[in-house]
Amino acid sequence: MSRLTETRISCGSSSPSHLIELDLTGNDPGQSGVKQLSDLLQDPDCQLKTLRFLSSAADEACQYVTGIVGKNLLLLRELNLSERELGDTRVNQISALLQDKHCTLNTLILRKCVLTEESCSALATVLRSNSSLKELDMSNNNLLDSGVKKLQNGLENTNRTLKKLRLSDCSITEESYKALASALRSNPSHLIELDLTGNDPGQSGVKELNDLLQDPNCQLKTLRFLSPAAEEACQYVTGIVCKNPLLLRELNLREHELGDTRVNQISALLQDKHCKLNTLILNNSSITPEDCRVLTEALHSNPSNLIELDLSGNKLGDSGNEKICHLLENTQCKLEKLKVSDCSITEEAYKALASALRSNPSHLIELDLTGNDPGQSGVMVLSDLLQDE
């Protein structure tokens, strides 16, 4: 029996009243053939009750999706099913459809669809077999590392055409980052954009990605795992210190006039879970009281890593010092060394510092106030503090 191709279907116009069932399963009509069939079904004179050219699972997916988007899925280039609780059954059906030769989707968006590890397994099969899919967005699903490892198998297929993969806010850790880096090393030529924003890779995960980007065979043009502001800070700092700050324990930006924009970006970087800095040096960096507020608020939200902070040589004044005191009062703050020499602070600031250290006395072991004027009462307050057991 000869194989059917996309020969023009004209039964609707020549004799529309007789045929009620047409089975074309297992043939390849191409995109125009699918359109011919779709147009035929819209003809009011067409009497077809049953038209088959997909597998049963793919046909169910096609009907389900057509009911949502109001158009035959096989005629679409992009499908967005975000915020629908698909469940494994629906994902399996959609995966069957994506593997069908009739489907030529370029973009599939499945954000907030309650995807599971089994969903990842089905979609990994798609990545191995589908030759049209260029963009896959699975963000905001609880995929976990086990799910991403399933996807790894699909990404390692050297024949695939996927260009963009989004996995932001998927509860994945450094194990997933390692798995993805491994997949992209084994098959470096296809993926140009990878979005991992909102996940926590740990220090080793960041290193895996950093090493991957140094690979001359790696084709990634866009790698996201930071907020936009933090990403800009990362690029700025890398340009100064010649190393990714996410791999550093100490960041020294002394005598760089940062300005409000840079301070906001660095604050965003400090808030990011990828940042593990222990020491931040910003002396003589034109930090203002408002900048100080932004920085200390950032450290409030991610207070456990920083051990040493140097803000010397900036005109913080008593208002900037007040923000620092609020940080010192945070019981999660692990700051051990604070340097605020030559910061234009007065005896009021000394009193505030003493009060903060009394309320949370166990962490700070070094405080540098050189070049400020405490007045007589400021000296007394600090002296009394040192007598406190």
Q: 56-225 with 230-387: one CATH topology?
A: yes
CB 294 within 8 Å of CB 267: yes
- Read off the tokens for 272: 């990011």
Closest CA to 83 of 108, 109, 63, 106: 109
* Phi-psi sector, 257: left (phi>0), alpha (psi -120 to 50), beta: beta
- Read off the tokens for 288: 């203002």
| Separation between Cα atoms, residue 73 and residue 292, nearest integer Å | 54
The domain segmentation of the chain, as residue ranges, is 1-53, 56-225, 230-387
Q: Please check whether the domain covering 230-387 is classified as CATH 1.10.287.3510.
A: no
State which fold the 56-225 domain adopts.
3.80.10
- Report the chain's C-alpha Rg in angstroms: 30
pTM of the model: 0.69
DSSP characters over 240-269? HHSS-GGG-SEEE-TT---HHHHHHHHHHH
Q: Which residues contact 308 (CB under 8 A, 6 or more apart)?
A: 278, 279, 280, 281, 335, 336, 337, 338, 339
Would you write out the chain's pLDDT as a tens digit for each of its 389 residues? 444 444 444 444 455 557 655 656 555 655 555 566 666 656 676 655 555 556 667 788 888 888 888 877 777 789 999 999 988 888 998 898 888 777 888 999 999 999 988 999 999 999 888 878 999 999 999 999 999 999 998 888 756 688 999 999 999 988 999 999 888 888 777 888 999 988 887 778 878 887 888 888 788 888 888 888 888 898 899 889 888 888 889 999 999 998 888 999 999 999 887 888 899 999 999 999 999 999 999 988 877 788 999 999 999 999 999 999 999 888 888 889 999 999 999 888 988 998 888 888 778 889 999 999 888 888 888 888 888 77
- Read off the tokens for 112: 């907030």
Q: How many residues does the chain have?
A: 389
